[in-house]
Amino acid sequence: MFTGIVTDVGKLLKVEDRNDGRVLRIGTVYDAASIDMGASITNDGICLTVTDKGNENGQNWFEVFAALETLAVTQVGKWQAGRRVNLERSLKIGDELGGHIVSGHIDGMAEIVDKKETGEQITYTFAVSDAVAPFIAKKGSVALNGTSLTVNDVEGNRFSVHLIPYTVEVTSWGDYGVGDSVNIEIDPMARYAARLFETLGDFRK
């Protein structure tokens, strides 16, 4: 379980392609000694399991494995060494819930169709698939590349979010422009509400 509050911007150090997926080595400020094997860390919003860790020349790193299913629903298959990655470690009992409940299970991709910069602030507009669009609500929450953000406006299958200077500074959001696609996870509350209405409809038949 996560909150969409990015706690480090890691760097993709190495990629190993295999016939069953990809191994990703991520450089991080997290103390490698504090990362448990098998721990869950979100990488641009994708919950991945730590399979190895270490420290080389003062650089902490951990490795995760992206299976074929992950490659099919995200753009991890296109990631190259040098990419900056938003990271968040899983919640512990007693941690502050600063964003919203995030599972790290990606629902699809959101394409950036507009980017407006005002000083150090950025407003992005995204387009999503018809399957995802009904779950996006004005003033609701959405996780984009692992960042908990509030939806400003919604029109059809497009919506916008506004990033304050602090968010731009402590995430990789400044790297993205029009035409780029990011991972989107809808608010679990919206998913459960939709399922409830679907179930109630079945009972009424």
Q: Which of 49, 51, 129, 199 is catalytic?
A: 49
Transcribe 128-189 into DSSP letters: --TTTGGG--TT-EEEETTEEEEEEEEETTEEEEEE-HHHHHHSSGGG--TT-EEEEEE-HH
- 2 has catalytic annotation: yes
- The H or E element that residue 199 is part of is helix 188-204
Q: Which of 34, 51, 129, 150 is catalytic?
A: 150
Q: Which of 7, 39, 65, 105 is catalytic?
A: 105
- 67 has catalytic annotation: yes
- 150 has catalytic annotation: yes
Q: Which of 7, 32, 39, 40 is catalytic?
A: 40
Q: How far apart are CA 178 and CA 200, in angstroms?
A: 40
- 118 has catalytic annotation: no
- 167 has catalytic annotation: no
Q: Which of 78, 6, 71, 13 is nearest to 45 (CA)?
A: 6
Q: Which of 3, 47, 62, 66 is catalytic?
A: 47
- 100 has catalytic annotation: no
Q: Which of 7, 32, 39, 67 is catalytic?
A: 67
- 70 has catalytic annotation: no
Burial 133-155 (b: 16+ CB within 10 A, else e): bebbbeebbbbbbbbbbebeeee
Q: Which of 2, 62, 126, 135 is catalytic?
A: 2
Q: Which of 86, 123, 107, 65 is nearest to 4 (CA)?
A: 86
Q: Which amino acid is at 62?
A: F
Please identify every residue annotated as catalytic: 2, 40, 47, 49, 67, 105, 150
